[in-house]
Structure 1
Amino acid sequence: MKYVTFEVRGRIQAGIVVDDRIVGLHEASNGRIPEDLLVIVQNYDCYKPLIKDVQHAGYKIEDVKLLAPLPRPASIRDFYAFEEHVVTARGKRGLGVVPEWYEIPVFYFSNHHAVKGPGDLIKRPDSCKKLDYELEIACVIGKEGRNIKANEAAEYIFGYMIMNDWSARDLQAKEMKVGLGPAKGKDFATSFGPYLVTNEELPTKEERLNLEMEAFVNGERCSSGNARDMYYSFGQIIEQASRDVTLYPGEVIGSGTVGSGCILEQTGRNWLSPGDHVELSITQLGKLLNVVGEEDENGLL
């Protein structure tokens, strides 16, 4: 099932995609299902039977504005799980891969209050001259758990969505010299969408998702990979994230960047500029398009 958050006639609510239409769950259930998808995910066992019973009428997709499926997730952890990205990106900076990367999957927390959705303008930070996209896939936790084993992690995943982990490379490089970060290099925006697709709909290969991943800048394909190439599976990632910590429904966990999935890895390609259109595409998860803007001293375009 594909879940969305959408706006129509000034009203924001959760919905599901049925053929080429969006069904508003709150409307279709006569108010029995909440408008907030995060609340639905957090109480899914309660609302799942009601969702199955809703009448499929709804709105044409072109008549609504899709937002990020979870505009305010409970948290965002972003991992570093694709070996090709790690090798290439570090190599561009004259660095090798540290042995510890092969021992444990690592992550950082991102700003869950700076989430953007399909079509949203991404404001390049005022002091940034090296804006980059990052092509990623993210899962959403659907069940509370602690010290989850990798081979049991699938039952804790609600679904998956496209993630663009926007990066101010120059800000990131400077602050990480201090030994912390990426902090302000990632603080301004993370895009999700257009759909949150439940995991039973997606193909797997040896416990890894078999999904083609592509990125386009102004219509030109710049990145291509597959989610199955993750060195660490989502099961291993969730095992690490939940070690001695409780994970809660509505928390987002990113894969990190697929190999070739950012400008940093590419030779001779310009950094993103205002007006650039960046579209990420993942098999069965849809297409996520954003346009780059610029922030002036007053925080406005």
Structure 2
Amino acid sequence: MRIARWTHAGTDGEGFVIGDRVVDFPDALTVADVLARGLAATGELFEAVADAAGTPLREVRLRAPLAPASVRDFVAFEEHVEGVSAGVEGKSHVADEWYEAPTFYFTNPHTILGPADEVSPPVTERLDFELEVAVVVGAADSADGANLTADAASRHIFGYTIMNDWSARDLQAREMRVRLGPCKGKDFGTTLGPWIVTADELAGFVDPDGFLAVRAEVYVNGSLVGEDLVSNAGWTFPEFVAYASRNSRVVPGDVLGSGTVGNGGCLGELWGRNQEVTPPPLRAGDEVRMVVEGIGEITGRVGQSVAAPSLPPARKRSRARRR
């Protein structure tokens, strides 16, 4: 099943993509409602509307397939870390701590973009994309989403979507020197789409070790820049979900990105490997298209940079302990 949100003739809709048409959920249900019900109940909804006429897919504009409850983004591809570290540190290096656990950061659920939306970046000289696959969490009968094992976590995986974690690398580099972040180098836009493909649809791509072996490609202005198998991640998607739930909780609507795939999944990796800023950073008017086997494709165009109101630098303070 494919789950989507769209706009048609000025009205928003949420439901299934069935062949070349979109069909609304029955009873005015939303994607959030469906995720909260879980995968089995969604199959029952699908059967109820499978023969409905719907609206031609070509006539709608797809929106992001959900409004995430939260967005976690992992850094799970060793090859990506090797390349980016070469650009940041001058040499390729993967910290020992990377191998111990699938590290992630939280990004902004309020700046989610649809699969054909334009991104409006901050003022930056190093705009980049990041090609990722994201898992979408749904309800499961097995547990409440806290302290899950990998096996239990697999039952919380509702489906998958493509994720583009837009990045302003110069802003990110400054922030990370403070040993916290990233923040403004990342949170201006994350593209999701074109829809959520339910986990059962991709079961045939899961290899014997539990890794999702789908091919992912990214094109800039029509030229192939990066390609990889998502199964080159250091951990499986159930392990991502399990780690996110450790001493915490995952809930329906959470989105967990795989992190950037290797072999050109972002420009930053290539800059590190080439030891120069080639290919060039993204500029206004550039088009980034991502294609993932079994899921579909998203295309984002770079818009004009948006200058933010200025703030002063930190002021020197007296450190007095009394007024």
Which TM-score applies when normalising by structure 2? 0.87
- The match for 1:130 is 126
- The match for 1:112 is 109
C-alpha separation in 2, matches of 1:297 and 1:149? 45
How far is the alpha carbon of 1:46 from its aligned partner?
5.3
CA contact under 8 A between 1:33 and 1:40: conserved in structure 2?
A: no
C-alpha separation in 2, matches of 1:200 and 1:240? 22
CA contact under 8 A between 1:137 and 1:161: conserved in structure 2?
A: yes
After TM superposition, list the pairs within 5 Å mapping 1:195-214 onto structure 2: 195-202=195-202, 203-205=205-207, 206-214=209-217
After TM superposition, list the pairs within 5 Å mapping 1:42-191 onto structure 2: 42-44=36-38, 48-54=43-49, 55-70=51-66, 72-94=67-89, 96-125=93-122, 127-143=123-139, 144-191=144-191
C-alpha separation in 1, matches of 2:193 and 2:212? 18
How far is the alpha carbon of 1:298 from its aligned partner?
7.6
C-alpha separation in 2, matches of 1:86 and 1:236? 19
| Cα distance change on mapping 1:83 and 1:113 into 2, 3 Å | same
CA contact under 8 A between 1:158 and 1:198: conserved in structure 2?
A: yes
C-alpha separation in 1, matches of 2:136 and 2:219? 25
1:274 aligns with 2:284: yes
1:23 aligns with 2:23: yes
- The match for 2:299 is 289
How far is the alpha carbon of 1:42 from its aligned partner?
1.5
CA contact under 8 A between 1:118 and 1:194: conserved in structure 2?
A: yes
Considering fraction of residues, name the structure with more strand. 1
- RMSD of aligned alpha carbons: 1.5
**Structure 1 portions without partners, runs of 5+:** none
C-alpha separation in 2, matches of 1:92 and 1:213? 23
- The match for 2:247 is 244
Larger Rg: 2
CA contact under 8 A between 2:120 and 2:306: conserved in structure 1?
A: no
CA contact under 8 A between 1:33 and 1:47: conserved in structure 2?
A: no
Which TM-score applies when normalising by structure 1? 0.93
How far is the alpha carbon of 1:22 from its aligned partner?
1.1
Identity percentage over the alignment?
A: 40
CA contact under 8 A between 2:157 and 2:238: conserved in structure 1?
A: no
**Structure 2 portions without partners, runs of 5+:** 310-323
How far is the alpha carbon of 1:13 from its aligned partner?
1.8
Q: Which amino acid aligns with 1:282?
A: V
How far is the alpha carbon of 1:52 from its aligned partner?
1.9
| Cα distance change on mapping 1:245 and 1:297 into 2, 3 Å | closer
Q: Which amino acid aligns with 1:230?
A: A
- The match for 1:215 is 218
- The match for 2:33 is 39
Q: Which amino acid aligns with 1:114?
A: T
C-alpha separation in 2, matches of 1:46 and 1:263? 41
